[in-house]
Amino acid sequence: MADTPTRPTGEAGPQRVVLAYSGGLDTSVILKWLQTEKGCEVVTFTADLGQGEELAPARAKAELMGVKPEHIFVDDLREEFVRDYVFPMMRANALYEGLYLLGTSIARPLIAKRLIEIAAETGADAVAHGATGKGNDQVRFELSAYALNPDIRIIAPWREWDLTSRTRLIEWAEAHQVPVPHNKRGEAPFSTDANLLHTSSEGLVLEDPWAEVPDYVFSRTVKPEDAPDTPEIITVDFARGDAVAVNGEALSPAALLARLNDYGRVHGIGRLDLVENRFVGMKSRGMYETPGGTILHAAHRAIEQLTLDRGAAHLKDELAPRYAELVYNGFWFSPERDMLQAAIDQSQAKVEGTVRLKLYKGGCYVIGRRSPQSLYSEKVVTFEDDQGAYDQRDAEGFIKLNALRLRLLGRRDR
């Protein structure tokens, strides 16, 4: 017998809530829980960020669970995701803790933004998500939501309910007529998150940082040892710091990243086994596959080598870890990220040209770069006769001036 929706006593609960809904078991349980335990009318939002899954079943499942058709949102956000989130981050050369290309982190502010927009469109007074109380995503979703609507109410079921194990979750689902696929009845070997930029996997079989990641965990790249024995050469063209073409073919942001993903998949590029420091304080071990993003990062750094002045390039390298930390911790919609972005984007005005790369068995190697805005001068740098372009005698005074303080220290401390 189905439960009758009831409202908690005391403070009035939300009337209508927008749920970030994947159609999977966890968010389907959350959907029913919001209806039965919170007495809410639920609006579902499913984002197509290029995760490679068929999204029609999510719509059908939401309808099956009583969500009104006009309250089911399935949005293709691939172009917006790459254009307005991935590419600005790539301009910054952002790597969290020097390695992680932030594939999960960068998707959360866009999902939160759309949640808030749909709440406004449908008159909802709350949003809900399926992130756990141990992870970073709860922080990213909620900081973004509060930045965009300071008065929004947020429901995080994993911080409220007592469904503390997969067994309890499945038991509750069965008791409340939530469909449970056969492949979800056993313990999942690991959890995954995917979008056009990356796939991440963590938990369970990956929790021992000494154990090698099993081959079956990888889904986006072939094993490097099994990649083609012949290298492949590609080119990537840039304008104002953004990639605009691959092998001379102009592509939209999402199509370009998808094309680079194809190259990266074939050649086993972009695997990362990382023990990272979560914002909430614990260390976690994750496996990331970012094939196209790895190629794009290498290419962007290569074109900057030609086009950025030393001062600008070195300042960017100082700013990049701070930028990456802001994205990782969920502060995309913060004034400090906006300030950093403005400085980074200003530096990209003349970052244009072509990079040539060799892809081979897990490796991505820059083998050439050229730019109409290049600061590289063969005439100045040559070991041959530079015909007066550089007077080597000037170096003596330069060295002595820079050595002055070192010589004074040396005389004092000798």
> What gap in Å lies between CA 96 and CA 93, rounded to an integer?
10
The reply to whether 1 falls in a domain is no
Query: In this structure, what CATH number is given to the domain that contains residue 106?
Result: 3.40.50.620
Task: Please give the pLDDT value at position 390.
Answer: 84
The model's confidence at residue 22, banded by pLDDT at 50, 70 and 90, is very high
**163 & 33 share domain:** yes
Host domain of residue 174: 16-188
302 and 272 fall within a common domain:
yes
Residues 177 and 196 in one domain: no
Among 188, 205, 221, the domain-final residue is: 188
* Residue 107 placed within a domain: yes
Both 63 and 162 in one domain: the answer is: yes
Helices 166-175 & 25-36, crossing angle to 10 degrees?
Answer: 50
- Residues near 212 by beta carbon (within 8 Å), at least 6 away in sequence: none
Provide the token pair at 346. 């200003």
Q: How far apart are CA 289 and CA 280, in angstroms?
A: 23
220 and 285 co-located in one domain: yes
Q: What is the pLDDT of residue 166?
A: 79
Query: φ, ψ for residue 11 (rounded to 5)?
Result: -60, 135
Q: What is the pLDDT of residues 71-126, one digit of tens each?
A: 999 999 999 999 999 999 999 999 999 999 999 999 999 999 999 999 999 999 99
Please compute the mean of the pLDDT values over residues 339-362 and round it to a whole number. Answer: 98
Same domain, 184 and 197: no
Dihedral sign (CA 70, 122, 155, 193): positive
Q: Are residues 225 and 302 in the same domain?
A: yes
Share the mean pLDDT of the chain.
Answer: 93
Q: If we measure between CA atoms, which residue out of 67, 187, 83, 188 comes closest to residue 122? A: 67
Among 36, 115, 146, 188, residue whose Cα is nearest residue 28? 36
Mean pLDDT of 213-217: 94
What confidence score (pLDDT) does residue 184 get? 65
User: pLDDT by residue (tens digit) across 228-275?
Assistant: 999 999 999 999 999 999 999 999 999 999 999 999 999 999 999 999
For residue 280, tell me if it sits in a domain.
Answer: yes
The rounded percent of the chain whose pLDDT value lies above 90 is: 85
Averaged pLDDT for residues 45-66: 93
Verify that 292 and 357 share a domain, yes or no.
yes
Provide the whole-model pTM: 0.93
Residue-level pLDDT at 187: 61
Question: Which two three-digit tokens encode residue 119?
Answer: 């709440």
Question: Does 384 map to a domain?
Answer: no
Q: Which helix (H) or strand (E) holds 346?
A: helix 335-347
Quote the tokens at residue 402.
């820079």
State percent of the chain over pLDDT 70. 95
* CATH code of 260's domain: 3.90.1260.10
Q: Are 1 and 122 in contact (CB under 8 A)?
A: no
Residue 173 burial (10 A CB sphere; 0-12, 13-18, 19+)? buried
Number of domains in the chain: 2
134-189 pLDDT per residue, tens? 999 999 999 999 999 999 999 999 999 999 887 899 999 999 989 887 666 666 67
Residue 51 lies in a domain: yes
What are the C-alpha distances in Å from 301 to residues 9, 67, 382, 394, 405?
A: 57, 47, 23, 31, 34
Catalytic residue set: 26, 108, 137, 191
- Determine whether 380 is exposed, middle or buried from the number of CB atoms within 10 Å of its CB (0-12, 13-18, 19+): exposed
Same domain as 164, residue 288: no
How far is it, in rounded angstroms, from Cα 337 to Cα 94?
12
270 closest CA partner among 287, 302, 294? 294
Q: Is the pLDDT of residue 1 over 50?
A: no
CA 115 to each of CA 76, 124, 149, 333: distance values in angstroms, whole numbers, following the listed order? 14, 10, 10, 14
Residue 3 scores a pLDDT above 80: no
DSSP 8-state secondary structure symbol assigned to residue 188: P
Q: How many helices (DSSP H) and strands (DSSP E) are in the chain?
A: 13, 14
pLDDT tens digits, residue range 312-325? 999 999 999 999 99
Which residue from 151, 109, 90 is spatially nearest to 293, judged by alpha carbons?
A: 90
Q: Is 407 a member of any domain?
A: no
The pLDDT of residue 47 is 97
> Is 207 in contact with 285 (CB distance < 8 Å)?
yes
2, part of any domain: no
Residues 170 and 251 in one domain: no
Q: Are residues 214 and 286 in the same domain?
A: yes
Residue finishing a domain among 188, 215, 246: 188
Q: Rounded distance, CA 270 to CA 261, Å? A: 9
In order, the DSSP letters of 257-288 are HHHHHHHHHHTT--EEEEEEE-TTS-EEEEEE
What confidence score (pLDDT) does residue 385 get?
77
The pLDDT tens digits for 386-399 are 787 888 899 999 99
**84: in domain:** yes
Q: Which residues lie below 8 Å from residue 341, measured CB to CB, with a gap of 6+?
A: 88, 92, 323
Domain check: are 143 and 279 in the same one?
no
Average pLDDT on 23-36 reads 94
φ/ψ region of 247 (left if φ > 0, alpha if ψ in -120 to 50, else beta) reads left
Count of residues for the chain? 414
Is residue 16 within 8 A of residue 40, CB to CB? The reply is yes
